[in-house]
Amino acid sequence: MITAERKPLEEIIEYIRPFQKILLIGCNECVTVCSAGGRKEVGVLSSLLQMSFLKQGKNLQIREHTLERQCDPEYVEELVSMVDGVDAILSMACGCGVQEICRRFKNKPVFPAVNTKFMGASERQGVWAERCQGCGNCLLGVTGGICPIARCSKQLMNGPCGGSTSGKCEISPDVDCAWQLIWDRLKALGMEDRYEEIIPAKDWRPGRAAGPRKIIREDLAE
Amino acid sequence: MKTDSVLEKVLKSGNLAVTSECGPPRGAVPEKVRQKAEMLRGYVDAVNVTDNQTAMVRMSSFAASVIIRQMGLHPIMQMVTRDRNRLAMQSDIIGAYSHGINTMLCLSGDHPHFGDHPMAMGVHDIDSIQFIQMVRKMRDEGKFQGGADIENPPKMFIGAAANPFADPFELRVARLAKKVAAGVDFIQTQCIYNLDKFEKWMAGVRDRGLDEKCYILAGITPIKTVGMARYMKNKVPGMDVPQEVVDRMAGVPKEKQAEEGIKICVESIERLKQVKGVAGFHIMAIEWEQKVPEIVEKAGLYPRPQIA
Ligand code: SF4
Ligand code: SF4
């Protein structure tokens, strides 16, 4: 999933300071799962903002709404009736959701309330970690199912650097060394020989190198 | 002979090679490069020129290598994948070769996290093994990584690093095997303090015949003080300083520690000379270059062979 964290309150306040009526929208997908921008977080942020503005003697009107999926035009359409009466929109979705709102409502200022972080997975309650960088040509089949692009701090495709120590990455004892993980897994699978195959220099075009990416499925596209 | 590299010639002649290192200055002070390199003249076969070492901005390795080449010495231009994509690397390689630089070291580099620009984005377009492949392709096939022909291809003698002390240990010989398969000509190792472990690694290297496919230069760094020994033991990732070494340094009075450090270093060289497969020494006396001649002499590696 896509992970996110709420922006500092002060930054959000600065965005909406000029406005009276705000539409605050959450998203029911990834940002709900990582507790950054779901219905609950929309409620909390709404109260925080109202309290903060009240202290300054200002009455901020916030309308709250959480969409099934903010990155999907079909659901964004639901907002049409709510948007007219507000001065600005504050979105708690990931960057994709925010931009979808911008695209649909051309005449309304739209602001992000979260920082979109990475594609990751939950390691345990309250902890998410990066797993994939969307390189567009997945190597997991040859690296024991562990991504060296997203999980090695130097993006090394052919083995651990000289800084790997006791299973941890040289940059921090809190970061697992991806190559230790890869090696452990290859060993567990009896596939140690795999390690010696050289992964050639990556063609980054399926990734970001060829500019913004798009998928067109002829069978589905209208 | 694959190249005109003096280092290659010395190694090929069967002599133990000696290299050392010159870290470029943090400013436009070419005289500092000359000063450091001058101390090494006559005592080493080639001089490594580091590339933004520890992820701190310094005079470029390319520029400092040119200065050293102009002094009539032989630079080993280091290059890290952290700061350049494959276009920039290849253009610097043909540029350096055009200035008479024919020996280089392909590295991934320390993470920006360690330096003075931790906010910088590392490039890592290719990794160190793909880097070796690229330089070999430029030399042996006369082609750029992208496939186009190079006019007068750069004939680089290709080096890389190996750290026998990093984890997982069991992968360290295989990692070298990959560099050999990629086309590396010589290896400079991480500084060796744990000689037993190094010998164990070398045994694995010999088992696979890797010492016959590339020249291995053992890394040596003299320790100045017990503080430095402790720091390297505890703070530097991938460094293995056994407690005995720290204790030995701590066992002599402060004013004698530098001398003791040199002694340890000379003893290490003597022992490593006996290790089959060690083709020479890479003496990294960081900000202590003036001690290199003394080490080289005491270790019986002086005079250097005169090979044109
Ligand atoms: S190899 Fe690429 S697609 Fe596969 S997990 Fe890593 S970044 Fe994602
Ligand atoms: S320690 Fe491991 S994860 Fe960290 S940069 Fe080196 S190889 Fe990559």
The residue segments making up the domain with residue B106 are: 6-298
| Percent of chain A with pLDDT strictly greater than 90 | 99
Collect all residues of chain B within an 8 Å Cβ-Cβ radius of residue A183: 168, 171
CATH of the domain at B116: 3.20.20.220
Say if B16 falls within a structural domain.
yes
Strands lying side by side in the sheet with A21-27? A61-67, A21-27, A88-91, A110-112
Residue B243, classified by CB atoms within 10 Å of its CB into exposed (0-12), middle (13-18) or buried (19+), is exposed
User: Is A179 touching ligand 2 by the criterion CB < 6 Å?
Assistant: yes
With CA atoms as reference, the chain A residue closest to B162 would be A162
Report the pLDDT averaged over residues A102-109: 97
Containing H/E element for B219?
A: strand B215-220
Pocket test for ligand 1, best of A133, A151, A157, A204 (most atoms within 8 A of CB): A133
User: How do residues B54-106 score in pLDDT, each as one tens digit?
Assistant: 999 999 999 999 999 999 999 999 999 999 999 999 999 999 999 999 999 99
- Taking the centre of ligand 1 as the mean of its atom positions, its distance from the CA of residue A210, in whole angstroms, is 17
The predicted-structure confidence for B84-96, as pLDDT tens digits, reads as follows 999 999 999 999 9
Which residues on A lie below 8 Å from B124 (Cβ)?
Answer: 154-156
How far is the first Cα of chain B from the last one, in angstroms, to the nearest whole number?
Answer: 13
Do the domain assignments include residue B304? no
**pLDDT reported for residue B308:** 63
**Is the confidence at residue A135, as pLDDT, over 90?**
yes
**Residue B306 domain flag:** no
pLDDT band of B307, cuts 50, 70, 90: confident
Residue B86 within any structural domain of the chain: yes
In a domain? residue B277: yes
Task: Determine whether the interchain pair A154/B126 forms a contact, defined as Cβ–Cβ distance below 8 Å.
Answer: no
Model ipTM value: 0.94
**Do A164 and B167 lie within an 8 Å CB cutoff?**
yes
Checking DSSP bridges between strand B75-80 and strand B103-107, what pairing results, if any?
A: parallel
Residue B258 lies in a domain: yes
Task: Count up the domains in chain B and report the number.
Answer: 1
Atom of ligand 1 at shortest distance to CA of A135?
Answer: 2
Q: What percent of chain B has pLDDT over 90?
A: 97
Nearest CA in chain A to B177: A196
In chain A, which residues have their Cβ closer than 8 Å to the Cβ of B238? Answer: 161-165, 170
- The verdict on residue B308 lying in a domain is no
pLDDT, one tens digit per residue, over A29-79 is 999 999 999 999 999 999 999 999 999 999 999 999 999 999 999 999 999
Q: Which of A159, A163, A167 sits opposite B171 (nearest CB)?
A: A159
Nearest-CA residue for ligand 1 atom 8 is A132
pLDDT digits (tens, 9 = 90+) for B155-178: 999 999 999 999 999 999 999 999
Tokens 């980054």 belong to residue: A204
> If pLDDT is split at 50, 70 and 90, which confidence band does B9 have?
very high
* Domains by residue range for chain A, with CATH: 2-118 (3.40.50.2300), 133-209 (no CATH)
Domain presence at residue B145: yes
